[in-house]
Structure 1
């Protein structure tokens, strides 16, 4: 007999859509996949035999030092003893959920938010409290009201948020930090996209760096800048939280892939990592602009959106609320187009039937143009289009 938790276990729609998107000729705007041409086969020359042995649960010391140094440059007050190397930053979400959530535990989230975080929190039985996300950050009145319900923690993605692409401005970052400090509610700040910045005027200083009293966990990854297949991410945590998260990590997988850690560290220390980031930003900025232009040409009267200042996604709200994007998805897949409907990104499932998320990083320019034309055609053909 399986545990009762399994009754709350749901499949990941994005993994299902990505599986369908593997069909030949499919144009996919569904996943947050890096551009294929940015992925290079690592140089394995000089790999020490020691990385094939068991290693420390916390991660390779030199990589933890490098992560801590980067974090201090962002404004976080931390050292390497607070860094835990993860099997992808998704593992950090899982560890936090295991640490903090019992059935019925309230957790405060943005609406919309990262669907795999929702999947994890629901699995452990969380009562997900939603705060609407506005152009420059969460609705602060609603955020304060939800904090009054004493959530175990708040999970936020302030920088180039997934799925919306929005970036909190300085006023919202300051206000959120002040509210969390006043309520002494823990912050879990997920920051996978911060290096993919196309508008340098965005304030990207982590909210964790602004906290004075509230405990915090900061999540980062190398999946968006180097290679997702390496599955190397990290968390940085308040000193009082770190030992508990480490024990949970040990109970999960002993330690993260040492070869992947070595390859990441080699890129940071010996590769042209700043140059690589500059080239990545230029490529993705160009693809963002191409999608924005194609959206304006094909969907100008059908939807509205905000051009994202960074990250990998456009978030579209259709002008006609009668169009259900989850119903539209099978029709799109039949014609060779994949996208993510908006509904799974909300704690309350019916909240975004007329929204969708589109990824611009993975498709080449010709595919992007064809996909936008096809999406416009599908929406015009829909009964409410």
Structure 2
């Protein structure tokens, strides 16, 4: 049985959300929720159904939830249609899980390094960090497929071991999987939670990397003992995610071209990854080490001379180059001399120019330190 946070002791379903879930029933007269008159909503009927401008269900549009559930079940995840929730971005999912499970001092297992924004949320709620091998953890957070920031991908054996460890210890596994469709090589990508029947788990993904980040849509499913509480928490945050965004995404994933789109996306980013890898060799081959990622959006560099890259950032920005200091992705004591570089956004000419500048700055900093 998972240990829930103290803050949900008084958590109750919202009666407003219950009412809104039945407002559209034929013949229903509602004097309850603060719904504006549908007839007075903007007339964009040529583009979409006018009811998309009205309040909607907290869990998300049924058709989109059904489409997500079908894809998750094809991956082996226990995800019936009614146990999928549409999120206002996957960052919201991290916040909801933290609210549900993390109190000050809650032992929370993470990879080292791991997703910076997840660390920020868990810290905000008072998590005490440990590594994934710690059986005393109440919650384990992992990005096993093309991890942010390292781009690493867990092997099948490592996935099985983590599933077994969480099941045996009663640790809730939170699997964050926003990059799984961005695969450029053949690697193990089966969701870990597909192995966790009878245990407590949360799984989430995102449409930001495969479609459009500005729509701010993600999705989440969870074991039955957690799901209803996550829905209630969402009700308290934003009532529901944008219905317009949900319709746009539903139209995209329901289109017969969606699978082809994912293949084209992977082909495009594979070419950018390979070009970036060549440019890294040209400019930083004598300064850093890295592994070419099999998917995702990032290269993880370790400088051979371990300068603190946080002190390099201001100079780099002034010179017209931005990067993420790797030290920021550690829960505890950081490993110095690490950097996360995104390869998906910049074209070849910009990547060439930026890496040349970055290499010069690193070389200058190393030379200055050795004087």
TM-score tier, shorter chain, comes to: 0.7 to 0.9
Rounded Cα–Cα distance in structure 2 between residues aligned with 1:46 and 1:272: 21
Give yes or no for the alignment of 1:162 onto 2:145. Answer: no
- Distance change in 2, residues 1:71/1:164 (3 Å): same
Superposition TM-score, scaled by structure 2 size: 0.85
Displacement of 1:359 after TM fit?
0.2
Distance 1:365 1:294 in 2: 9
- Cross-structure match for 1:25: none
* Match in the other structure for 1:3: none
Does the aligned pair in 1 maintain the 2:328–2:334 contact within 8 Å? no
1:222-277 Cα deviation digits (max 9, x unpaired): 00011000001010010111110000000000000000000000011135111111
SS at match of 2:111: strand
Can you list the C-alpha shifts for 1:294-335, whole angstroms capped at 9, x where unaligned?
A: 1111111111011000000000011112x1100011111111
- Are residues 1:126 and 2:136 paired? no
Per-residue CA deviation, residues 157-180 of structure 1 (Å, 9 max, x unaligned), is 000000000000111111111111
How far is the alpha carbon of 1:46 from its aligned partner? Answer: 3.9
CA distance in 1, matches of 2:167, 2:102: 21
Q: By how many angstroms is 1:45 displaced? A: 5.4
> Residue 326 of structure 1 corresponds to which residue in structure 2?
310
- What is the CA–CA distance in structure 2 between the aligned matches of 1:280 and 1:44, rounded to whole Å? 32
User: Does the 8 A contact of 1:302 with 1:318 survive in 2?
Assistant: yes
Q: How far 1:344 moved relative to its partner?
A: 1.2
SS in 2 for 1:129: strand
1:311 corresponds in structure 2 to: 296
List structure 1 runs of 4+ shifted beyond 6 angstroms: none
For the pair shown, which has the larger CA radius of gyration, 1 or 2?
Answer: 2
Q: Aligned to 1:279, what secondary structure does the other structure show?
A: helix
**Cα distance change on mapping 1:51 and 1:294 into 2, 3 Å:** same
Structure-2 residue corresponding to 1:108: 109
CA distance in 1, matches of 2:290, 2:45: 43
Contact 2:199 2:223 in 1 (8 A): no
Q: Which residue of 1 aligns with 2:17?
A: none
Gaps of 5+ in 2: 1-43
Q: For residues 126 and 202 of structure 1, what CA distance do their matches in structure 2 show?
A: 32
Which position in structure 2 is the counterpart of 1:17?
A: none
Distance 1:384 1:302, change over 3 A: farther
Report the RMSD for the aligned CA atoms in angstroms.
Answer: 1.4
> Which of 324, 329, 342 pairs up with 1:359?
342
Q: Confirm whether residue 203 of structure 1 aligns to residue 204 of structure 2.
A: no
1:3-14 matches, cutoff 5 A: none
Aligned with 2:234 (options 249, 260, 266): 249
Aligned to 1:339: 323
| SS of residue matched to 2:91 | helix
User: Residue 296 of structure 1 corresponds to which residue in structure 2?
Assistant: 281
Q: How does 1:76-225 map to 2 (within 5 A)?
A: 76-131=77-132, 143=133, 146-147=134-135, 150-199=136-185, 201-225=186-210
Q: Deviations over 1:344-380 (max 9, x none)?
A: 10011x4122100000000011000111111111111
CA-CA distance at 1:44 after TM superposition: 9.3
CA distance in 1: counterparts of 2:174 and 2:127, whole angstroms: 15
Aligned to 1:7: none
From the superposition, tell whether residues 358 and 44 of structure 1 become closer, same or farther in structure 2 (CA, over 3 Å): farther
Which of structures 1 and 2 has the larger relative contact order (alpha carbons within 8 angstroms, sep 6+)?
1
- Say whether the 8 Å CA contact 2:269–2:344 is kept in structure 1: yes
Aligned residues: 325
Indicate if the aligned counterparts of 2:138 and 2:170 stay in contact, CA closer than 8 A.
no
Q: Partners of 1:172 and 1:244 in 2: how far apart? A: 30
Q: Distance in 1 between matches of 2:142 and 2:245?
A: 27
Q: 2:64: which partner in 1?
A: 63
Q: Secondary structure at the match of 1:218?
A: strand
The answer on whether the counterparts of 1:184 and 1:213 sit within 8 Å (CA) in structure 2 is no
